[in-house]
Structures are given as structure tokens and as C-alpha cells.
A and B are shown apart, each in its own frame.
Chain A
Amino acid sequence: GENVEQHPSTLSVQEGDSAVIKCTYSDSASNYFPWYKQELGKRPQLIIDIRSNVGEKKDQRIAVTLNKTAKHFSLHITETQPEDSAVYFCAAGDSSASKIIFGSGTRLSIRP
């Protein structure tokens, strides 16, 4: 089955700097890669997703890149702000799958 690894587990960046979170997956059939943000005590919420027919997707300060050959994908947050502090989860699934598999999460802290 699919296995998703996520790094780093914790990340602290200065406000205004960029943050990068990386994930690798094992199943070459995976073609759907969502990213979720979970604030303390809250539910996970989708922030961006990418499908394997594109290599990069951007939404304002957030971008995701995908390298299918290497089986890794990354989340990039630019001009970080205090409200970006949260736990971020990557996930992977394929169109025929009944589930997506989550990475272990990255706790992002933004230093003022």
C-alpha cells in the first residue's frame, strides 16, 4: 500500500521568510496530492491540492510542486505570517483508491 513520509516534523521560520515542507510517496499509481492545515484543536482543512498532470500549482502565497519521477512533492509558503502557524499534512491517493494516506505532519511556527 501507499506510504507517505513527511519532513521536517517541526519547522520554525522568521515572519516574512519562506517555509518548505517535503513529502515522498511510494505508490507510483498515486495521482492526487492534497495538503491540509490543522490549527491547534481544530479540524484539518484543505489548503491546496495537485494532480499528476501538472508539476506545479500556486495560490497566492502557497505553491505546491510535484516530481512524479522522484515521487516527491513539496509545499512552499512565501512571506510567512503569524496565522500560518499550524500543523501541515501532505497526503497521497490515486483515482481508483478509496482513501488518501496522510504524512505524519509538520508543525510550523512563525517567529515574530
Chain B
Amino acid sequence: EVQLVESGGGLVQPGGSLRLSCAASGFTFSSYWMHWVRQAPGKGLMWVSRISGDGSDTAYEESVKGRFTISRDNAKNTVYLQMNSLRAEDTGVYSCALPARGGKAWFDPWGQGTLVTVSS
């Protein structure tokens, strides 16, 4: 069974940093791209970032470009999201998601998410 478990969320002041982790199991981790998606409280879904299976190819949503860095450790079956220069509008639940295949693919499953709150 595929499982995705996020951790690392918490309360951080504006301008601060956090590193989120997503531990994966139940599939050949290094063969799959991985994605991060954010959901602000009471709001919709926003794609944040993705990384290729070998970590060589990444992409970001414009509002986080230059502040967030996605990475992975295939030996630990874990994908990370390093978040710097955090802003109040970065508040939300961050979930990792597994695309069904390479290329243009739907997300299944999603992790339950970890809550990031940016506030003074």
C-alpha cells in the first residue's frame, strides 16, 4: 500500500524558515516524480513544486520561486520542501502527492498534510 506521511510543519515568524519532509513507502520511490501542494485555511488547492525521480528536474509555482527548494533523498524514500523567507500568505496545509506515472499525470494518493502557520 502506498503511503505518504508529511512532517515538519509548525508555527514560524514571518521571514523564518521551515523544512518539510514527506516519507514515502509502498512503491519504487526513485522511479517517480513527487509534488507538493498547499491549501490555505478554508481555501482551494495550489500546486507548489515538483521534482523528478533522480532529483535533476524541478519546477515551482511563481510565488514561491527563489524562496522554496524541493529536494529528495532516494536512499531514505523522502522528499523535502525547504521554505525560506516565509510570508503570512504561505500559511496552509502542505501535502505531498504521488503522480500516477511520469509526464502529465494525476495525483494518487495524497498525504494527509502538515500545517504551516506563518505569524508573529
Binding partners A and B: no
B residues adjacent to A (C-beta < 8 A): none
A residues adjacent to B (C-beta < 8 A): none
